[in-house]
A and B are shown apart, each in its own frame.
Chain A
Amino acid sequence: MNKTTVIVGLGSCGLAAGAGKTYDEFHRIRQADKLDFEIKKTSCVGMCFREPLVEIIDDTGKYLYGSVDVKRVDEIIEKHIKNFSPIPEYIIESEKYKSEDASFFDGQVKITLRNCGHIDPESIEEYESRGGYEAMRKISNTNMSYEKVIQSVLDSGIRGRGGGGFPAGMKWKFARNNNSDKKYVICNADEGDPGAFMDRSILEGDPHSVIEGMMICAYAIGASEGYIYCRAEYPLAIKRLNIALDQARKKGYLGQNIFGIPNFNLEIQIKEGAGAFVCGEETALIASIEGERGMPRRRPPFPAESGLWKHPTNINNVETLANIPWIIYNGPQEFAKYGTEKSKGTKVFALTGKIKHGGLVEVPMGITIKDIIYKLGGGITGGKKFKAVQLGGPSGGCIPEYLSHTIVDYDSVNATGAIMGSGGMVVMDETTCVVDVARFFLDFTQKESCGKCTFCRIGTKRMLEILTRITEGEGKQGDIELLEEIAHTIKDSSLCGLGQTAPNPVLTTIKYFRDEYEAHIRDHKCPALSCKKLLTYEVIAENCTGCMACAKGCPVNAIEGEKKQVHHILQDVCIQCGVCFTKCKFKAIRLS
């Protein structure tokens, strides 16, 4: 009989859901009861909505338990580990039981996330036991030339997963063709799109795959130094990367003549980003590594020609690099088997917002948005109506429900006015106001604009002012046209991707939800009942107990009524702050 193994998912999301305590509790009880089972840790399998996740492997098979908070640990140990009787109610998936939530895994193809949630990210041995560093060995053992490596990446058809969708192999080729005694490879781990977290998950769950990807890239283009530019907001990712780099160094996978390839030397270091969205832009990122303000530079020259410290540089993002070892090891045709004609392979999406199964999914390109949301994502929370999905973050756009048959590949998504971006999918239901969402994004890009280009710096500010005005019921006739005009000007006259795409959320929401803008401007109404300033608050007499909580909370004394008597809101005094609504414990305030 083998020892039972308990594996706890300790990614950032798991930890936020309390997995750390769960992990400790397993340890505590094991020691207290002198039990004999093994406890291991792994990272996130993407099923964030059921965190903390615990996998138990014993002689009878594998069992994935969901929502294992501290309180359930005791019961699981008692029943499953001590008495060999698994608890079906808590199991998400096993050979025998399959809960409804397990549909989350159906249709997923894991290439990028192949190891996430399956290995201990702090162990190089576990990475190697699942084929890790085999791609590097293959290059070394078969004397694969750099041309052949680049050709493989080209043949796989993989396009940059960070936003632009530029073919990765082409980039490598450019960097290779520029002669220089020094070249750099950079991993862009400055995941800036608020609402996407696949890069964090990969770095936390499988850091070696990214390092191996960088090695292969360095070999292909002839680089000898590498940087991983990682957001400081991801402390756990940085910690695990550091561990992984140390392990690789100890094993001789970094350093001189690595994998026995003569003159192939590589050192990789981590640079912590200091918090600036614009640093996702290649040239701004380079400026930041050089220790300057992260402001984009004019291109050409492209980084492949003159990048970091004026040397040829290749930059790929985390998700792209994590795919590379798999492609080299399994061959480009295997990768190109998935996807559509112009978008090959799989793509990771972060499902968030009003969706039942929030988390990370990896699907072949070409699947429809609808399938992602309904089949994998389980549909909309609370039985509400699906309204739109924001794809591509602040640079992307809103895709309305009636276009949800759109397939995910670069070109189809671009055709809607959104972009694939890094793959953040924020799902919105009927209670989300799209004008407010557009305002939210402009608020973000306006703050993050580096200020170099006038139209981006000032234009986004003006757009934000107009949008704020509209959501506060002060919109004017002609505002929509004005927004469109400024938007196009910003797009045309900005140097970098931030400015060129910043107006997208506004343009797409105007395109698909013009009537909602008009309702705000003309009728001073917010159809989603979300913009506070446009609502009226009323007391529902039947529910009001006269507890006075609302009256006490009201900052402008707009609520009248004696104790234990039905209260009343003076509409001309009310400033629509919403305090009464949040204070009321009896659902006696109505919005309209």
Chain B
Amino acid sequence: MRIKRIIPEKIVDSASVSEIPDLTLMDPLIEKYKTRKGNLIPLLQGTQEIYGYIPHEAFLKLNRETGLKLNEMYGVATFYAQFRLSPAGKHIIKMCHGTACHVQGVTAITDEISDLLNVKDGETTEDKVFTLETVACLGCCSLAPVMMIGEETHGKLTPKEASKIVKEIRRNEKFTENVKS
């Protein structure tokens, strides 16, 4: 189940992604960790910080420049929930499915958002604005049910309120989109 969630439906091969990411962005990161013990996870975390996910090319580059083995990196990247192998939406909605939130009925809220955005757990909306994820406990259990969008945590939610917050973000996105074009 865990693995299913992390590996994207179709593994994004580099040809289908129009732009190849700028790999030089990783140089300072590699410089910093190259010779340290136990650097695999910090390198992957740093890479994900730069691109929002770990692009295929980044694995190859890490392999070339640090000597870390591809199978080991892939093994680690698919083991931990944090790592993403395909690009995520601009806003990541983390719905807490921890115990407290479960008991307080978060499932109904996830369903509501899932319907609203027409995505399932782990998926990204077509316009690449939202990714919906379920996580285990955001540490605000006494305000359950809780969701986190970006850095902001929203507590004591109802399905209605949650969808209001998401709609609001979507409206702002559309607005900036219009201004730009």
Contacts and interface: CB of A to CB of B under 8 A. Distances in A.
Contacts of A154: none
Nearest to A443: B1
A201 B141 CA distance: 12
Given A194-B136, A444-B136, A13 B38 contact: no
Nearest to B155: A16
B76 A293 contact: yes
A428 B41 CA distance: 38
B53 interface: no
A353 interface: yes
Given A12-B139, A578-B108, 5 more contacts: A15-B153, A48-B143, A276-B79, A353-B103, A354-B104
A374 interface: no
A275 B154 contact: no
Given A12-B139, A293-B76, A274 B103 contact: no
Interface in A501-515: none
B114 interface: no
A192 to B, nearest CB: 8
B102 A440 contact: yes
B63 interface: no
Given A444-B136, A448-B2, A582-B108, A13 B142 contact: yes
Nearest to A233: B138
Contacts of A276: 79-81
B144 interface: yes
3 tightest Cβ-Cβ pairs between the two chains A and B: A194-B98, A358-B142, A275-B81
A200 B139 contact: yes
Given A12-B140, A16-B146, A235-B151, A292 B99 contact: no
A553 B98 CA distance: 29
Contacts of A16: 140, 143, 146, 153-155
Interface residues of A, number: 60
Interface string A240-280: 00000000000000000000000000000001101111000
Interface in A104-148: none
20 contacts: A16-B146, A194-B97, A194-B101, A194-B137, A196-B137, A197-B137, A274-B83, A277-B136, A288-B41, A289-B38, A291-B41, A291-B76, A292-B76, A294-B80, A352-B103, A352-B141, A360-B142, A424-B99, A424-B100, A578-B108
Contacts of B139: 12-13, 191, 197, 200-201, 233-234
A273 to B, nearest CB: 8
Give the most central of B44, B102, B139: most A CB within 10 Å: B139
A354 B76 contact: no
B103 A354 contact: yes
Contact of A352 (B37, B136, B144): B144
B108 to A, nearest CB: 7
Contacts of A359: 142
Contacts of A394: 99
B92 interface: no
Nearest to B4: A447
Given A195-B98, A276-B79, A352-B100, A291 B138 contact: no
B101 to A, nearest CB: 8
B125 interface: no
Nearest to B98: A194
B140 A197 contact: yes
A49 interface: yes
A51 B103 contact: no
A445 to B, nearest CB: 11
Give the most central of B96, B140, B144, B146: most A CB within 10 Å: B140
A282 interface: no
B66 to A, nearest CB: 11
Contacts of B42: 271-272, 291
Contacts of B41: 271-272, 274, 288, 291
Contact of A393 (B45, B83, B99, B144): B99
A343 interface: no
B79 A233 contact: no
A191 B137 CA distance: 9
B16 to A, nearest CB: 27
A380 to B, nearest CB: 12
Contact of B80 (A15, A274, A426): A274
Nearest to A203: B139
B133 to A, nearest CB: 11
Interface in A341-383: 350-354, 358-360
A277 B82 CA distance: 12
Nearest to B48: A274
A224 interface: no
Contact of A353 (B96, B97, B100, B151): B100
Contacts of B135: 233, 275
Contact of A232 (B82, B103, B104, B154): B82
A232 B135 CA distance: 12
Interface in A1-28: 12-13, 15-17
A293 B108 CA distance: 34
A428 B140 contact: no
A43 interface: no
Contacts of A309: 37
A195 B141 contact: yes
A193 interface: yes
Nearest to B135: A233
A275 B83 CA distance: 9
Interface in B25-40: 37-40
Interface in B120-157: 135-144, 146, 151, 153-156
B159 interface: yes
A411 interface: no
Contacts of B138: 12, 233
A45 B141 CA distance: 15
Contact of A233 (B2, B45, B108, B137): B137
B67 interface: no
A293 B75 contact: yes
Interface in A311-333: none
Give the most central of A13, A196, A582: most B CB within 10 Å: A13
Contacts of B100: 194-195, 352-353, 424, 426
Given A291-B39, A448-B2, A275 B142 contact: no
Contacts of A51: 143
A468 interface: no
